[in-house]
Amino acid sequence: MSIDVDVALRRGAFALDVAFAAGAGLTALFGRSGSGKTTVIDLIAGLVRPDRGRIAAGGQTLLDTARGLDVPAHRRRVGTVFQEARLMPHLSVRQNLDYGRFFARGRDETTGLDAGAIVEILGIGHLLGRRPAGLSGGEAQRVAIGRALLSRPRLLLMDEPLAALDEARKAEILPCIERLRDEAGIPIVYVSHAVAEVARLASTVVVLEAGRVAASGPAEAVLRRADLTPLREGEAGALLDMVVATHDAVSGLTTLAGPAGRLFVPRLDRAPGSPVRVRVPARDVLVALAEPVGLSARNRLAGRVLALDPLGEAAVLVTIDCNGARLAARLTRASVRDLGLEPGRPVLAIIKSIDFDPQGVGTGQRPVEI
């Protein structure tokens, strides 16, 4: 199951020319507002027609301007979750969920999840009799996700589904999206401008910049790059896929283990052995040549300098290979010169553990190569 998108469109001063492919799992379309993310979603859903292009999903061509083919939105079977829930105000929650189901009757099941499982994962069973006007933003968005899934889509699009919600509501929906990504078995294209969400959810990341693809590839490789605009404000960072090793009741810390070594984070309520993905922002990584003495930071990973990439005038992004896992550190040019950093040099990466972002901790999937 894969998605192939290659589209171009011009609307006044805005030009979009985007090509990417995505496989199973969750593909994040990542970029600032105005970079064309939502337009790409509308194009895939069939709500906007491009000037030229080709879109295919799961081996089925949805659009091919060269052949004059344009499958209308209602026959594309592309489930779409919009930024606002867009529930039908005149229907109850149950009727909203049944809406897509009704039109999908006779189609093959695509998600491998029956209605009961979807309602359970989203935790919306107690809302069925309610009206959309009486729902909170988070509840409405969960119903909207359920409605899209129940229409038996071959592909699920999510256009910043959390953008309009506060942190508490986001925290309530993110685990649902993680479970759907792992259990629904259909590819998800997820639009976001929030690096924490992308880091937590994405297998593949496509970075959009001013209507063009600036980078695409496995999440851990793309999110380490500090030269991409959406990541510039100190947001670049490494993704480390680890597992929960032990919990220490005395210190209140959880130990995570991975190829790079061990990391200590504030207690995580996950069973030992469960996969966890953490994000280490490049600005929170220090580099030392030798084991420092009398330093409070407990998280130290040994590795070798892999590459040095200049970041503007004064900064350098240092990529460090820690036994196969890659860390990124944002240092000043002066520090790099003083330490004599060069590719191949053994170093110690020191991570300020307090900077582990709880929102950035998710049940990571192995990045999928496309």
Partner 1 sequence: MLVLTPEEWNAVVLSLKVAAVATLASLGPGLLVAMLLARGRFPGRALLDGLVHLPLILPPVVTGYLLLLAFGRRGLAGSALAEIGIVFAFRWTGAALACAIMGFPLMVRAMRLSIEAVDRRLEQAAATLGARPLAVFLTVTLPLSLPGILAGAVLAFAKAMGEFGATITFVSNIPGETQTLPSAIYTLTQVPGGEAGALRLTLISVALSMAALLLSELLARRLGRRLGAG
- Evaluated on CA atoms 276, 282, 286, 287, the torsion sign reads positive
CB 101 to partner 1: min, Å:
9
Which phi-psi region, left, alpha or beta, contains residue 153 (left: φ > 0; alpha: ψ -120 to 50)? beta
To partner 1, the closest distance from the beta carbon of 133 in angstroms equals 4
Work out the burial of residue 360: count CB atoms within 10 Å of its CB; fewer than 13 is exposed, 13-18 middle, 19 or more buried: buried
Measured between alpha carbons, how far is residue 98 from residues 60, 61, 74, 94, 111 in Å? 26, 27, 16, 6, 16
Kindly tell me which residue out of 75, 126, 232, 337 binds partner 1, with binding defined by CB under 8 A. Answer: 75
Determine, following the binding rule CB under 8 A, whether residue 100 of this chain makes contact with partner 1: yes
Name which of 76 and 225 has its Cβ closer to partner 1. 76
Strands 188-192 and 26-30: parallel
- Site membership for partner 1, residue 80 (CB under 8 A): yes
Q: How far is the CB of 104 from partner 1 (least distance, A)?
A: 6
Give yes or no for residue 129 binding partner 1 (CB under 8 A): no
Binding span for partner 1 by CB under 8 A among 39-47, 58-66, 251-259, 320-328: 39-47
49 binds partner 1 (CB under 8 A): no
- Of the candidates 72, 116, 252, 294, which one interacts with partner 1 according to CB under 8 A? 72
Which amino acid, 67?
Answer: R
Question: The tokens of 249 are what?
Answer: 């009741």
Contacts of 183 (CB under 8 A, 6+ apart): 112, 113, 117, 121
Helix (H, G, I), strand (E, B) or coil at 149: helix
Q: Checking phi first, is residue 74 left (phi over 0); if not, alpha (psi -120 to 50) or beta?
A: alpha
Which part of the chain contacts partner 1 (CB under 8 A), choosing from 99-107, 167-175, 237-245, 304-312?
A: 99-107
Residue 37 in contact with partner 1, rule: CB under 8 A: no
Q: Does 109 bind partner 1 (CB under 8 A)?
A: no
Residue selected from 90, 232, 337, 366 as contacting partner 1 according to rule CB under 8 A: 90
Residues that bind partner 1 (CB under 8 A): 45-47, 72-80, 82, 84, 86, 88-90, 99-100, 103-104, 131, 133-134, 147-148, 151
